[in-house]
A and B are shown apart, each in its own frame.
Chain A
Amino acid sequence: MALHRGRGFASINYPIGMNLGGDPSQALVHSNPDGKFTVALSSIDLGQGMKSVTRQIAAETLGIPVADVYVDTADSDTGPHCMGSFASRGTHRVGNAVIQAAQEARAVMLEAAAEELEVDASDLVTDGRGNIHVKGAPSRTITTMAACQAAQFKQGKTVSGRGIFLIPLSEVDPDTGEMTPVSCFAHAALIVEIEVDDETGEVAVLDMQSAYEVGRALNPKLVEQQLIGGAWMGMSHALWETTEPYYPDRSHGPVDFNHYLMPGPGDLAPHHISVLERPAPDGPFGGKGPGEMCANPVLPAVANAVYDAVGVRIDDLPITPEKILRGIRAMGGAKPRLRLAKMQVTGVR
């Protein structure tokens, strides 16, 4: 009886947004008299940080501090239409709508500032700290608050903007499948190292080395939480989870977390993540959407690692100890392959 180590590799890409388009999202941006801005949306914050990333996008576009922006979302009486938070579409679609709305509001704010400073609006810049000044002449300045106050109380202007982002619905050719599925893709590659116990069939995930390309990381902390959580989910899908353990038979369906198996804190492996950022040409500041794809490379990488470790190919998920043991027995014992170990650069590990 022995523990066998093995490594597995996988690489994937992932389409961003509802794949055939036709999924609009809108945003409304307005300033209160003090130059604090509200972004009204109907998008959903599932914990992924929808409110936070749209807040940063609005602040960047308006040219004001993030503290001066509040995102109010998902009241159908006040928020404009959004298709919803799914399909990795939130950052990409809603972010673009927020940029459009914020640009329109910014233009009014700059017009108001221009009138106060008696200059041309096209000569004005924002410093991101709450000031507007003439390009090259920082002393000719007005605060964003004063500009918004002047707009409302002196000039009678609404500092507000509307935005929508829509990729038109693609057709699908029934005969060839020709279609325009998505506008950008995220990417990932991952190597996982595992250990298989050939007596119990249990798998321990020891280490994960990954590279994720997510477009521009709009908020690196939010990206990190997605990638860590997503990889955990991928490992859980590979080795633990299902609502029908003997699919297609429906018996033994779990009804609580005692029987619906997932890895606990003690099962987690160190995960060494590298983030690459190739901006999406049509993404908000180049952002894509890391939310879904982060789980995907882990499933096949684990399956490939099990084969590497004991020579058993499990092509049916999840890879349970029962399936591994049956496979080992069918072969008359574990047959380690260790293909990646043979390709190791000497001295690196």
Chain B
Amino acid sequence: MIEFRKEFFADERDDNLNEIGKPTRRQDILGHVTGRSPYFDDHLFEGLLHIRCVRSPHHHARIRRIDTSVADKMPGVMRVLTGKDVPLNLNTLLSLLDFGLDDEPLLSETKVAYKGEPVVAIIAETEAQARAAVAKVKVDWEVLPHVLDVEDAIKPGAPVVCDVYPTNKFIYHGKFDHQKLRFGDVEEAFAKADHTVEGRYQMSPIEQAPMETCGAIAAPEINDRFVCYTSTQGLFFSLGTAAKLLTMPSSRLHFIGGTVGGGFGGKVDSMHEPLAILGAMLTGRPCKYAWDREEEMQVGAPRGAERWYIKDGVMGDGRIIARKFTGYFDSGAYTRLSSYAIIKGVGHLPGPYTIPNVYADVYCVYTNRTPATAMRGFGITGVDFSIEVHMDKVAETVGMNPVDLRILNSYRDGDMKAHRRLAKNCALIECCQVVAEKAGIDISPASRAAASMRDGGGERANLPTRTATDQNGAVSGYRPSNYGRKGAKPPSPTAPVPQPAYAAAPGQGQRAAVLPHQAAQVPPAPHAPAPVPPPVAATAMDTPRHGALRFSSLSGFRRR
């Protein structure tokens, strides 16, 4: 079933190492096969409380009123949380890279933008009691028009999904409402091409489907700290996110993980850790927040849907001289990681081929569905599907063997890529040759003779003599910066901006006086009403960066 073709690239390797290249047994195999490896959910503290969320039944709705009076008095209910209990109830995952505006609350307070969005968290003695109390929370919803299709969402007059991005498009670099790739002039090349081939491709959302659903267990630790056992794929990523949302120095958080029951990208969103810790802070007891399978599948962020339009200009001999992309990533109601997936995807275009003219406009679009996040193949799987099905159509159009077409157009060492860096360490041609040989596909003598190390570079290393650029999709009102960063002024929208979700109010300093951890030293009586927090902090646009704090943990410099 598997063979190692050591004859390829042999002169680039030293195959005589002691440990590298050996099929050594896994360090953790004994624990795994005996069922003893500890996962987050194996840390079932005595007195563990359970958190369940009240979720939106609507795609899009304003919250008029939340009535928890019945739920408050249900058996076993220790505490009922709303967005007001979250010290900093607005975040974007990539704030650690300074990428994008804070746009997503942990518990929504004024409106919901997807079916399943959490608005209330119940903390109870048992999971069954938490579920029973969830059913008794009454929310007065004002249902709003919603939009589910990416191309509908960017039409004028479409419902505004996320107030932070009023045109339903992420803003790139403070400059454009999409990410551009411009290399040469595709329109000029299309005019010269013997054929043009067009296609539209759609990838629908996919669940990461780990055996272990996402979750975290947090508990008060000695010396005013909190321990958090978590299934996260990024320990410090989640620690930094929790420190930010709880306005707590990272030194008071002790995160433990590292053995995870499958991730596939679905365990980076850091939704569970902040809420479990907040529960432990407010009750003084260990708290578990984990998804059941239904939540994992419909509320947990999937691999997002992508829609791609591709147009190729092809010569009669199979050479592709131009490739144009228009892409729409369905981010769902909030950004999470879709904006970054697009940059990764754009850096990948036009696939592993050397094409002298390449163009892409790729949009990160907000719709009223579960936010999308990372999954195995992040930013690449969808467009690779599109490119490779398109390549098959191109091969048919020019009457070529599809393997020959790939090898003819393949990138080689030293070629200039569309993102303006030279290719190196290529091996696509060799992979194609090996597969053709194994499957008995008759490829041309030229394809058999080709090699990644040969015939690249030279003229193929040149940048285009001219690149057509444009200002399509330019936006104003954002501070231009590399990633299009927060702290920028609100955009001047074409559609009326709804009332900001978070009313302007006194500065952050006041929050310190009521940090919930202080209340946590003495567990409150089960039915005690939540302390009334002061008005929530400033708007997303005006909030000063918490970067110093977040970077301190996320870049590894521990705070004392």
A interface residues with partner B (beta carbon < 8 Å): 7-15, 19-20, 22, 24, 26, 42-47, 49, 51-52, 55-57, 59-60, 63, 66, 70-71, 73-77, 79-87, 128, 169, 171-172, 174-182, 184-185, 187-191, 209-213, 216-222, 224, 227-228, 230, 233, 237, 241-245, 247-250, 253-257, 260, 262, 270-281, 285-286, 291-293, 295-297, 299-301, 303-304, 307, 313, 315-318, 337, 339-340, 343-345, 348-349
Contact = CB atoms under 8 A, between A and B. Distances in A.
Given A247-B305, A250-B115, A300 B392 contact: yes
The bracket for how many chain B residues form the interface is 35 or more
A301 B381 contact: no
Contact of A46 (B199, B260, B346): B260
A255 B298 CA distance: 7
B236 A76 contact: yes
B264 to A, nearest CB: 8
A85 B267 CA distance: 10
A86 B59 contact: no
Contacts of A184: 425
B257 A181 contact: no
Given A59-B19, A250-B369, A44 B235 contact: yes
Interface in B384-407: 384-389, 391-393, 395-396, 401-403, 406
B478 to A, nearest CB: 11
Contacts of B381: 237, 295-296, 299
B234 A86 contact: yes
Contact of A75 (B199, B209, B232, B258): B258
Interface string B1-38: 11111101100110001111111111110000000000
B347 A187 contact: no
B352 A51 contact: no
Contacts of A218: 20-21
Nearest to B10: A277
B268 A86 contact: yes
A243 B206 contact: yes
A19 B172 CA distance: 16
A56 B59 CA distance: 49
Contacts of A220: 2, 4, 21-23
B346 to A, nearest CB: 5
Contacts of A180: 419, 421
A316 B199 CA distance: 11
B12 to A, nearest CB: 5
A81 B393 CA distance: 46
A66 B26 CA distance: 11
A169 B385 contact: no
B214 to A, nearest CB: 12
A51 B257 CA distance: 13
B289 interface: no
A86 B556 contact: no
A60 B426 contact: no
6 contacts: A9-B392, A44-B233, A76-B254, A181-B344, A191-B436, A273-B1
Interface of B: 1-6, 8-9, 12-13, 17-28, 59, 97, 115, 148-150, 172-173, 175-176, 179-183, 199-207, 209, 232-237, 239, 253-265, 268, 293-294, 297-298, 302, 305, 330, 343-344, 346-348, 351-352, 360, 367, 369-370, 374, 376-381, 384-389, 391-393, 395-396, 401-403, 406, 410-411, 418-421, 424-428, 430-432, 434-436, 438-443, 452, 467, 469, 480, 482-483, 553-557
A296 B237 contact: no
Nearest to B407: A11
Nearest to B261: A47
Contacts of B555: 24, 81
A245 B180 CA distance: 31
A76 B256 contact: yes
A70 B27 contact: yes
| Nearest 9 Cβ contacts at the A-B interface | A81-B556, A84-B234, A74-B258, A348-B440, A300-B388, A181-B347, A128-B18, A177-B181, A174-B173
A275 B2 contact: yes
Contacts of B232: 44, 84
A220 B555 CA distance: 32
A83 B200 contact: no
Given A176-B182, A249-B148, A304-B402, 8 more contacts: A10-B391, A80-B556, A174-B172, A209-B435, A272-B438, A275-B2, A276-B5, A279-B13
A185 B255 contact: no
B207 A241 contact: yes
Contacts of B377: 14, 292-293, 295-296
B428 A11 contact: yes
Given A15-B380, A84-B233, A274-B434, A343 B401 contact: yes
A12 B260 CA distance: 29
A285 B556 contact: no
Contacts of A219: 21-24
Contacts of B203: 317
Nearest to A303: B389
Nearest to A83: B234
Contacts of B431: 11, 187-189, 211-213, 276
A171 B482 contact: yes
Contacts of B392: 8-10, 300, 303-304, 307
Given A51-B26, A276-B431, A60 B17 contact: yes
A323 B268 CA distance: 33
Interface centre among A56, A187, A210, A228 (most CB of B within 10 A): A187
Contacts of A86: 233-234, 263, 265, 268, 374, 378
B181 to A, nearest CB: 4
B402 A9 contact: yes
Given A84-B235, A248-B367, A177 B346 contact: yes
Contacts of A82: 234-236
A230 B376 contact: yes
A318 to B, nearest CB: 7
B389 A242 contact: no
Nearest to B23: A221
A220 B434 CA distance: 19
Contacts of A52: 24-28
Contacts of A230: 376
Contacts of B257: 44, 74
A227 B302 CA distance: 22
A178 B420 contact: yes
Contacts of A276: 5, 8-9, 427, 430-431, 434
A344 B207 CA distance: 38
A285 B435 contact: no
Contact of A345 (B148, B421, B441): B441
Contact of B148 (A248, A279, A348): A248
